Amino acid sequence: MNKIALAVAAAFAASLTISGGALAQEKTVVIAPFGVKTGVLRLFGINSEAAVKSAVEEVNKSGGVKLADGSKAKMVAAEYLDDRCNAEEGIAVVRRMVGSDALIAVGPTCSNVAEPLYGILQKKVDDAKDTGLQFPILTDVAIKVGLAKISEWSFRNVPNELTMYSSLYYWLKTTRPELKTVYGGVEEDFAHSRASWHVVMKDRANANGYQVLGESKWLLNDTNFSTQVREIKKANPDILSIAAHPFTTCGLLKEMQRQGVKPKLVVGLTSTSSLETMQACPKQAEGMIIPSSFAPVNKEAKYAAEQTAKQKGAADLHSMAAWENVFIIKEAMERAGLSGRKDAASIQADRRKLRDALAATKTTKGLLGVNKRTEDREADKPYVFVHGKGGAWHVLHNPL
């Protein structure tokens, strides 16, 4: 009986040792993705979530994240939280993350969430008067120009639209010299679209010697574009630059078809180079040119797209930024030398180390090549020009 009891006790002790060892090996570093997963922008969230999940799997397949003590930690993507493209909900979501063991957030989808959210992070690190959330965020989608400068805790890996449209208009000027005039179409109540036309497209078209004839405006929910198309018809531009998302871009293109309005060229918004446009108006989007920071043009890009598809997501310029973010974070975590401990003080110390490592990053490896990091925590990413052809987006020109 004693022998049996001894054997049971020994087995129990051994099991404790094994599980303890296993637990010791199961160190984790948590990243927290968030964005929109409801409503009209739901697809953005689905794609970003799939990209983050598949990239995290890749990180773990290659051994995880190396910590300061030389041990390896498994990277964990927390549940993708939905901010519904609403600033208040976005702030609530990030406050929830701050209370968890997440070291960094990846998101949000909408610029109208990013802008106020960055505002509560803490403008300058170590500013005792500004307590802020002191939580690093590496944004994948929200693209409105110049947002990351709001806080030293905010970082973005979104394409630089100023550079992209400048390059596009320059390329058009040299390859299509017969095109002289530009007219804008803008979704006036959406932060990204509005900024893209008024700050980026219009300015860059002017800078490249185009005559900007004017602009027509509509709202995100609009369904009737007859007046706007008549305005475009009257202006008779060579190039129509549309700064709007797929629903209204397609509405406008279909109305143009009805009224027989055919500019020589249509330029679209970066976010429109997605599957959504090809679902809603493949025929009408034929020939539309858009600068994009993603296209499956090389082995890495194709692989990322395939892995994301396995998680039921589509690869586009936004979701592939989320993929890249996971690797940027991994690399920064390893340079930062994280403790990986789970007490509140260590978590906050690791967040700060991670922020500093991200701030010190000069270049990162992107899917289309090297992404440069700017002083104001933005990215300068490689890009290509894509055009609608046969119901899909194809690379038209690689300017780099």
Residues that bind another protein (CB under 8 A): 38-43, 46, 188-189, 217-224, 226-227, 230, 234, 246-247, 250-251, 254-255, 257-260, 275-276, 279-282
Q: Smallest gap, in angstroms, from Cβ of residue 236 to another protein? A: 15
**Cβ of residue 223: shortest distance to another protein, in angstroms?**
5
DSSP 293: S
Cis check for the bond before 33: say yes or no (omega within 30 of 0).
no
Q: How far is the CB of 186 from another protein (least distance, A)?
A: 10
For 365, the enclosing helix (H) or strand (E) is: strand 363-365
Amino acid occupying residue 346 = S
**Is 256 buried (19+), middle (13-18) or exposed (0-12) by CB count in 10 A?**
buried
Are the C-beta atoms of residues 106 and 53 closer than 8 Å to each other? no
Q: Which is nearer to another protein, 43 or 148 (CB)?
A: 43
Least separation in angstroms between CB 254 and another protein: 4
Residue (72 or 254) nearer to another protein, CB: 254
Tell me whether residue 258 or residue 342 sits nearer to another protein (CB atom): 258
176 vs 312, which CB is nearer to another protein? 312
Three-class secondary structure of residue 263 per DSSP: coil
Between 210 and 218, CB nearer to another protein:
218
- By beta-carbon proximity to another protein, the closer residue of 196 and 208 is 196
Helix (H) or strand (E) holding 370: strand 370-373
| Minimum CB distance to another protein, residue 297 (Å) | 24
- Is there a contact between 138 and 156 (Cβ–Cβ < 8 Å)? yes
H-run or E-run covering 387: strand 384-389
Strands 363-365 and 370-373: antiparallel
Query: Nearest approach, Cβ of 230 to another protein (angstroms)?
Result: 7
Question: What minimum distance in Å lies between the beta carbon of 260 and another protein?
Answer: 8
Least separation in angstroms between residue 289's CB and another protein is 21
As a three-state string, the secondary structure of 33-51 is EEECCCHHHHHHHHHHHHH
Nearer to another protein, 25 or 279 (CB): 279
**Nearest CB to another protein, comparing residues 17 and 224:** 224
Q: Which of 143, 149, 183, 179 is nearest to 161 (CA)?
A: 143
DSSP 36-105: --SGGGHHHHHHHHHHHHHHHHHHHHTT-EE-TTS-EEEEEEPPPEE-TT-HHHHHHHHHHHHTTTEEEE
Specify the residue, 42 or 173, whose C-beta has the smaller distance to another protein: 42
Q: How far is the CB of 48 from another protein (least distance, A)?
A: 13
Helix (H) or strand (E) holding 364: strand 363-365
Residues whose CB falls within 8 Å of the CB of residue 299, separated by 6 or more in sequence, listed in order: none
